Structure 1
Amino acid sequence: MMSTAAVALAAAAASTATTASAQSVSLVPPMTQNTANPLSAILSPAYAGMGIEPTSLYPFTGTTERNNLTYTLLTNLQKYTGVPPHIRVGGNAGDTMLYNASSSGYTIHQNAYPSGSGQPNPSDLLYFGPSYFEAMDNFPEGTPITYGLNLAYQGSGWLDGIVAQANASLNGVQNVNIVGFEIGNEPDLYGQNQFRTDGSWTPTAYGNQWQQAAVAIYNNVLKAKNIGTNFFEPAATATTATSRGQPFRIANLVSTGVAAENGIYIAGWNQHDYFYYLGVSSYQLTSDHLLDLSATSSQFKEWRDQSQDAYNTGKPYYLREMGSVGPTGIQGISDTFANTLWTFHFFLYAATVQVASVQIHMTAESYASPWQPTASNSDGSQPHVRSSYYAFAAIDQIIGATCNVRVAQYSLNNIPSGYTNRLASYNTYTDGNLQTLIAINTQPAPSGSSMGTVTFTYTLPAWSGKTVYLSQLTAAGSDATQNTTWNGMSYEASGTGTMTQAGDQPQQVTVGQDGLLSVRVRDSQAVVVNLGSQIGTQNNQINTANCQKLASSTSEGNDVTVSGTVQAGSAGSSAPTFSSQPTGYNPFRNSVALNARPELVLVTLVAAGLGSLLVAFS
């Protein structure tokens, strides 16, 4: 066992680069969540998920044979949290695809004579058949899926078509769980995409069509399957920050048909964002800018306000399409360790501003995808794991399977010279008590360069004399595209996505009797300190009571120690609400619930080596 003084040496020794300088920052984290602020709600085990562009489904899932790389990588994460990551199948292509029950085979066909509105891609450009949903069953058992339906098409029989698509999706899967629908993708852009006449397309018009579709799907599909009304996630907007998107803010949508019957059709609010978007953002992105933490906070302000307005309606807020660079990433940024650090930090940051679930968007030809599912047509690369996958492994091992973990951000006030906007500190609380310390250093540091370090010195009186374990998220540098490690593990070395031990193993350390703990974090690195055990080794067993309580509840209560902290909405005051008082929310409910009656929810949690644990409650 190592002494407190040895912590700095252990962390520094893990780096193969030369240490250029060492500076320090002091922290006194709250020992309980009562004074932690900002504080997340209890995190869903499926919090960190992925989104798949609908035309990229087959490369990721496989067809008659599953894609084993995808399956292995998702199963790895399932072993850490008890459930597979939440997958969203949706995107721009979804509003150009029509379901055709007579279409056979694992092929997305191009319509020879499209007549639907939309330019350059009409709303009936493509069509597909039942095999599309069969392919979804290649995901690990119990995978929760939000599925996007085509609202853009308004030709003859459009309403019957969207009902048929919804019904076929639920009937077509046996192994996975479709837990929610998006009705349309990014309706704020329908005028721009010429899906609708721009002058007549308003939030009111959208709300009316959305309500018409939701009611029809419930009456003709969900009701017969004993599925409740709240199965839909509006509005899947691209952005509410622009003049075109602002009318689609939550504060406005609650006065439209979306909020029909006091919001009974809404499972949660669904919006999209990217830190940077090719062809839209007005500057040239660099890794240096990506790793400037203030840039993320500034860019996300609108979405932070939207999440707070969602909270005021008593509904969760989902970020179902997200990423550092859309739509397909930038080589040399998206495929590097810089993006891994950004993604890891964003998962933590988003939780503290009341985002209930984050889906990082993937396409089959994207440097931003955490893995390359099939041979790439663009650069010829073979299937492989990208560095950003390690961010998912890290956040999932931190969350675990216990259904009682919250994240809090700790504000650093004594940033050392040269590290402004490069350091971040988060803590997690289990059953209300401090469990994990997370130190992040995003100072850009290319491989082989002279790298600095920052010592995070914690004052932890309640931890004096106790054992902690240090786990690193690290690579040779911020520009590294290979050989990332997390918690002493590699997912690349096997060539199959299977976890193998690699690199420096977690360090066991005793906190000083004075309650001081010093942790050195190299530039372009993150270190996670866990009390009592190596992170991921004790919190990966499902806590049935906690998960049952979380899954059955539609509200966790009103006080900040239960629901998380929240601030004023985008307009400077509370958004209109569905009830007289916001009731908090349950981020877990839609991530694990099977198709079930509201009065009887069945939750299947699949734990590695334990088979399926079926929890029934009323």
Structure 2
Amino acid sequence: MRHPFALLPGALLSVLLIGLSFNNLDGPVLLASAVTVYSQQPIATTTASGATASYTGAAAYDPTVLNPPPIPDPLPSMSFGIQLQSSSDAVSGLSIKQNGGFMGFSIEFSVINQVLGKNSSYLQIPFLNLMSNIRQRAGHVRIRVGGNTQETATLVDSLADGKILEKDEDNLTNPTDTPPLVFTPDVLYMLNNISALVNTKWYLGVPFNDTTNLRLSIVQVGEAVLGDNLLGLQVGNEPDLYVKHNHRSGTYSPYDYFGEFGVLVQALAAAPDLYPVRNNLIAPSIATGDWTPEMVWDTGFIPSYTDSLGALAVEHYPDDNCFAIYGIGSPRDPQTEFPNYLNHTSGQSIVQPYLNSTAIAQAAGKSFIMLETNTASCGGFPGISDSFGAALWALDYGLQMAYSNFSGAMLHVGGQNVYYNPFTPPPTNQSTFHQWTIGPVYYSALVIAEVFGSSNESQIVDLFPNDARIYTPAYAIYENGSPARVALFNYITDSSGNSDYTASISINGGTVPSSVKVKYLSAPSVSSKNDNITWAGQTFGATFASDGRLKGDLDLQTVTCDTTANTCPIKVPAPGFALVFLSDDALSAADSVSTMTATFSTTSVTKTANTVTIDASVLATSNGHSGKDRKLGSTSKGSSSDAPGSAAMSAFAAVAAMTFGAIVLVGRWWM
């Protein structure tokens, strides 16, 4: 049955321009008997500087800028060679085949009505644009809806106030104050409408806080509504932390999880008409906190449930900022932690504990997914998670996971109170005059989509160039057996140019083309914020400045190669990332996205009173106009006038005089 809130119509609300006018006055001008003066500063003859204020706003917009690490001493070589093999058959350690949707997003269930849309008919346009950017490059987008809030989420037929989601703020759980949720089926119709527009695929979470009274409605409705757009159902979110989060008794072990997972499998099998899909469960999704994956595998988990498992998964953050936010754990100093994210060993060390599990997954014929990750748990770090350094880190970390045979990774998205969001909508009370904020790690997902493309045939290898120096890593991407792209990193910050390096790419058993195309991910420093980040010359802009579309002219650089010497010299700035396209086929999809990406107009507004819009360029060059023959009036909704200009100006002058008098009186009283 088609849901009544199917795809929204093309016509959306228009912005209403509210004119200013005074009431028509036939008699004497009547003025208010009281004037309120807000935020008036006292009049004084001297001024003094106060202490620098600390930022107290939402974490997502924190302006903290850290110092970049010092230039390494000694410097790694600034000129080195990279030799590729002409055929993937000669490459040792090549990954499994990957796709451009490798890096997706994990959106906390409790914020989907802010990020995705208000309901199935009102979708967030900037979000659609952001997903369209990925879809055009990768062919599809993968999103996980879940997190801690999935564990207590309950599907209900409807909510009294017409909302699709509500939080129970009076019964918070976990050390991170997680609210229980109730949601309606319209959430799932909203997801499917997004899929229809931008080819998005979904992972959903089954509530697992009470396995004696399983709530499986999300399975039934999710499968019925989403169909092939449902990739899988996560069973349990970080079960190895259940004891610490007070969700299970202190004796809870991997064997207990094994048994509870079996209870759910049996419940689904008992009602095949309600739950027809048999092989789409995702587990164990541990955080590698108190358990290792091997502790779960040792229970016989995979062979026991292989027919029910769609994929194996873990969740992991390399660090945490929980002490600063919740007073738990150990204190962390962001400035001290910053260098840990700015070299190749960071991604390697995160991935290393899972290398055995990716091999086990392949042997079992299962995908292995990093279902939730980001810079640090409990919201990330100010100055790290929202810096250009984080963009380089997430990009390198993502490629390292792909090289290590993960099949996907989801960057987590929280609310306004976290630093690491790939994208953040403005607070609701600012949505009429502020746009979205695009975090640095969204650029990482965008670039990875171009690294792998949409062929589903890309394989990646870590090249360990420059004597495996940790500040200058590189990867090669092979497509259909041939070298297609090269990814080059420079983690060093050095404005002098002395740390810019040149990598000379050659092909063993083949010849380099006469020229190659290069795209750069750039910023002045690893400490730079979003307003200074560009991908191939384009940007999403500063805080509160994006509608989800790249701005600026595409900068696709051409580098001439020496076919006689069989080398292509590629310069990589400090800091920066370069993606080298070795053939026209490797470039074709990426080269056309600036003109082919489907985008959505932002003509929908949530407030239609007092929303005057003036083009900034017009305002900047305007000399103003005389008020002699103009009508002025109230900005309050419902007040209007068509008074003659002279009467209006008389009233305006009277109000101005009275206001000025009040200011002077207040100023004298404060002096």
Tell whether the structures are fold-level matches, with TM greater than 0.5.
yes
Closer/same/farther in 2, CA of residues 206 and 541 from structure 1, 3 Å limit: farther
Q: Tell me if 1:332 matches 2:391.
A: no
Aligned to 2:3: none
CA deviation after TM superposition for structure 1 residue 491, in Å: 3.2
CA deviation after TM superposition for structure 1 residue 233, in Å: 0.8
Contact 1:25 1:414 in 2 (8 A): no
Alignment equivalent of 2:126, drawn from 69, 76, 79 = 69
Contact 1:402 1:541 in 2 (8 A): no
Q: Tell me if 1:474 matches 2:531.
A: no
Contact 2:343 2:470 in 1 (8 A): yes
Closer/same/farther in 2, CA of residues 492 and 283 from structure 1, 3 Å limit: closer
Alignment equivalent of 1:311, drawn from 356, 359, 362 = 362
Aligned to 1:434: 483
CA deviation after TM superposition for structure 1 residue 521, in Å: 1.1
Match of 2:208, SS?
coil
Contact 1:459 1:516 in 2 (8 A): yes
CA deviation after TM superposition for structure 1 residue 540, in Å: 8.4
Q: Which moved more, 1:130-139 or 1:347-356?
A: 130-139
Contact 2:484 2:586 in 1 (8 A): no
Match of 1:276, SS?
coil
Contact 2:286 2:293 in 1 (8 A): no
Match of 1:234, SS?
strand
1:530-574 CA distance string (max 9 Å, x none): 1223965346899xxxxxxxxxxxxxxxxxxxxxxxxxxxxxxxx
Alignment equivalent of 1:139, drawn from 194, 202, 207 = 194
5+ residue gaps, structure 1, are: 1-17, 543-606, 610-618
Match of 1:343, SS?
helix
CA deviation after TM superposition for structure 1 residue 309, in Å: 2.7
Q: Tell me if 1:453 matches 2:496.
A: no
For residues 137-286 of structure 1, the aligned pairs below 5 Å read 137-141=192-196, 142-154=199-211, 158-159=213-214, 161=215, 163-173=216-226, 177-199=229-251, 201-220=252-271, 226-227=276-277, 229-239=278-288, 242=289, 244-246=290-292, 249-253=295-299, 255-256=300-301, 259-260=303-304, 263-279=306-322, 280=329, 283-285=332-334, 286=337
Q: What amino acid maps onto 1:480 in structure 2?
A: S
Distance 1:323 1:235 in 2: 19
Distance 1:456 1:281 in 2: 41
Higher strand content, 1 or 2: 1
Closer/same/farther in 2, CA of residues 218 and 444 from structure 1, 3 Å limit: farther
CA deviation after TM superposition for structure 1 residue 268, in Å: 1.1
Q: What amino acid maps onto 2:421 in structure 1?
A: S
Match of 1:40, SS?
coil
Closer/same/farther in 2, CA of residues 248 and 111 from structure 1, 3 Å limit: farther
CA deviation after TM superposition for structure 1 residue 374, in Å: 2.8
Distance 2:341 2:246 in 1: 33
Closer/same/farther in 2, CA of residues 376 and 188 from structure 1, 3 Å limit: farther
The normalised TM-score by structure 1 is: 0.74
1:26-85 CA distance string (max 9 Å, x none): 2212222123233211113321100011101111101142111111010011111221x2
1:472-526 CA distance string (max 9 Å, x none): 1111221111132223332338832223344743224234322012212111111
1:303-361 CA distance string (max 9 Å, x none): 23322332232211000101122232222111111011111111211111010001011
Closer/same/farther in 2, CA of residues 502 and 480 from structure 1, 3 Å limit: farther
Q: Which moved more, 1:330-339 or 1:462-471?
A: 462-471
Distance 1:250 1:311 in 2: 16
Distance 1:264 1:498 in 2: 42
Closer/same/farther in 2, CA of residues 328 and 112 from structure 1, 3 Å limit: closer
Distance 2:350 2:592 in 1: 37
Distance 1:410 1:281 in 2: 36
Contact 2:519 2:557 in 1 (8 A): yes
Contact 1:402 1:540 in 2 (8 A): no
Distance 1:211 1:541 in 2: 48
Match of 2:257, SS?
helix
Q: What amino acid maps onto 2:379 in structure 1?
A: T
State the percentage of identical aligned residues: 18
CA deviation after TM superposition for structure 1 residue 608, in Å: 6.0
Closer/same/farther in 2, CA of residues 469 and 335 from structure 1, 3 Å limit: same
Alignment equivalent of 1:128, drawn from 153, 160, 183 = 183
5+ residue gaps, structure 2, are: 1-70, 323-328, 599-671
Contact 2:268 2:275 in 1 (8 A): no
For residues 502-513 of structure 1, the aligned pairs below 5 Å read 502=553, 504-513=555-564
CA deviation after TM superposition for structure 1 residue 207, in Å: 1.2
Aligned to 2:146: 90
CA deviation after TM superposition for structure 1 residue 219, in Å: 4.2
CA deviation after TM superposition for structure 1 residue 205, in Å: 1.7
Q: What amino acid maps onto 1:496 in structure 2?
A: D
Pairwise CA RMSD of aligned residues? 3.3
Contact 1:485 1:503 in 2 (8 A): no
For residues 603-618 of structure 1, the aligned pairs below 5 Å read none
Contact 1:375 1:382 in 2 (8 A): no
CA deviation after TM superposition for structure 1 residue 282, in Å: 7.0
Aligned to 1:52: 107
Match of 1:470, SS?
strand
Work out which of the two has the higher radius of gyration on C-alpha atoms and give 1 or 2.
2
Q: What amino acid maps onto 2:130 in structure 1?
A: L
Alignment equivalent of 2:465, drawn from 368, 387, 412 = 412
For residues 315-464 of structure 1, the aligned pairs below 5 Å read 315-365=366-416, 366-375=418-427, 382-412=435-465, 414=467, 420-445=469-494, 452-460=499-507, 462-464=510-512
Distance 2:313 2:408 in 1: 10
Distance 1:389 1:113 in 2: 33
Match of 2:379, SS?
coil
1:410-456 CA distance string (max 9 Å, x none): 122536xxxx41111100111111111111111244xx566511111
Distance 2:78 2:383 in 1: 29
Match of 2:194, SS?
coil
Aligned to 2:353: 302
Q: What amino acid maps onto 1:439 in structure 2?
A: L
Distance 2:487 2:576 in 1: 11
Closer/same/farther in 2, CA of residues 429 and 108 from structure 1, 3 Å limit: same
CA deviation after TM superposition for structure 1 residue 225, in Å: 6.5
Q: What amino acid maps onto 1:42 in structure 2?
A: K
Distance 2:261 2:592 in 1: 40
Match of 1:62, SS?
coil
CA deviation after TM superposition for structure 1 residue 144, in Å: 0.8
Aligned to 2:156: 100
Distance 1:153 1:188 in 2: 16
Match of 2:144, SS?
strand
Distance 2:266 2:515 in 1: 56
Distance 2:410 2:176 in 1: 25
The normalised TM-score by structure 2 is: 0.69
Match of 1:277, SS?
coil
Distance 1:398 1:271 in 2: 24
